[in-house]
Structure 1
């Protein structure tokens, strides 16, 4: 059955602005929503909402989601999405944002005016990993650090900090690695793809997102790896601003 989790538990965000587009950001696996919340200062035309998954932050006592399907169902039961809005999802967040959009379309609900996906292959493509979430703690962290970066050395060297982050990271990787794509008709939503030009995700894997929208996709490439936006934040957020301002 759907949850009755308050909207404020799902979302961390900026003060409400009636004239602003609502931008919902879905973080990467193991991501800290606060990292995305600081984007608000450089997104003046958006009312920013960062999605906080069960088991994180103020929801730390809730069980982690066991599947993306259940996560999507619960999110849409609790978050109204009544005003004009857009989605941005990075890595695992891109997959979740896409699946939320599919579910909205299937339910006949209002769709995002933009779906912006980042650093994730098109969802119908075979997964390159299916086992990371099954590794022992230290091996899991080392494998993710080698594959994607983004885990500071001080975290890898601290047993106390590792213990805090490994369970949410494992839970998120399980969501991605156990999810099975179900074919469907393309979405009637403009779709933009962001990526770092040094990431493992290939140009072909990014271009394949075209199969999931009836609109021509736009691919934006930035210097950097999987977490390109950390080193080039201003450039990335300027491009995100432009994407959100583009007339549809």
Structure 2
């Protein structure tokens, strides 16, 4: 049975494991493929990266040999910006375009004014305060010195990558761009809507209850949005690949 690969990019300080639960909530035709970033998880021995464009080119090179099957990109926060840059890097390589790009929980590439204070390294105390404000890390974890000694260097590098990001004007992506936002998150509606400037094909915006980590607070709804948007493109792909409607009945729950 053919499958659509969903490559998922993690948020600041996180590893690919944050998406491991998603496999249980999505249909068989949609394969979750978490992308691990250097310096964490199975890539712990690799140096951390603070250059968004360099990392996007590196990851695009790693993904390129696997793109014979149709795919989509998803990223939350840092991961959304990184997924966007990977889509551009893949296009520059002449790779097949993703069926869709999902940008979750962050302002559009042209509206990064709220992230300028991330351009300088933050102290451990500032990083912990930021984690506490985002309300995605339990207090017992914040109080665990051993865990924090592993997490804070990763978070510091990821914040620098966000703060030092420089937008590069390029032709719009020829793919549907779906944005998800939290109603209590800091990104404004104008900052989220500005993502539509990056696509020449189609755009949608879904606002969910919750703060920055709405993807965990409302996981089932996020997965329903992903499935609903990808099913359209997946059906179209199967029609084109099989020269008709054969196999469409397989796309379902």
Answer yes or no: same fold by TM over 0.5.
yes
CA contact (8 A) 1:23 1:46 kept: yes
- Of 59, 71, 77, the match for 1:85: 71
Structure 1 residue runs of 5 or longer lacking an equivalent are 1-17
What's 1:145 paired with? 132
> Where does 1:140-179 land on structure 2 (aligned, <5 Å)?
140-146=127-133, 148-179=134-165
Structure 1 position 149, deviation (Å): 2.3
SS class of match (1:129): helix
Aligned partners of 1:145, 1:243: CA distance in 2, in Å? Answer: 33
The aligned residue for residue 59 of structure 1 is: 43
Which structure 2 residue ranges, 5 or more long, are not aligned? 237-253
The structure whose Rg is larger is: 2
- Report how far residue 97 of structure 1 moved: 0.4
TM-score, normalised with respect to structure 1: 0.88
Q: Is the 8 A contact 2:15 2:37 kept in 1?
A: no
Which segment is superposed worse, 136-145 or 124-133? 124-133
The equivalent position to 1:122 in structure 2, one of 89, 95, 108, is 108
Shift of 1:108: 2.0
User: Matches of residues 169-248 of structure 1 in structure 2 within 5 Å?
Assistant: 169-247=155-233
Quote the RMSD (CA, aligned, Å).
Answer: 1.4
Give 1 or 2: higher helix fraction. 2
Residue 111, structure 1, aligned to residue 97, structure 2? yes
Post-superposition offset of 1:130: 2.7
| Whole-Å separation in 1 of the counterparts to 2:19 and 2:187 | 21
Contact 2:175 2:202 survives alignment (8 Å): no
Does residue 1:48 correspond to 2:32, yes or no? yes
Q: CA deviation at 1:241?
A: 0.9
Does the Cα contact within 8 Å between 2:173 and 2:199 map onto a contact in 1? Answer: yes
Equivalences for 1:6-85 in 2 at 5 Å? 19-44=2-27, 45-79=29-63, 80=65, 81-85=67-71
Does residue 135 (structure 1) correspond to residue 132 (structure 2)? The answer is: no
The total of aligned residue pairs comes to: 230
Provide the rounded CA distance (Å) in 2 between the counterparts of 1:225 and 1:218. 20
Counterpart in 1 of 2:251? none
Report the 3-state secondary structure (helix = DSSP H, G, I; strand = E; otherwise coil) of the residue aligned with 1:105: helix
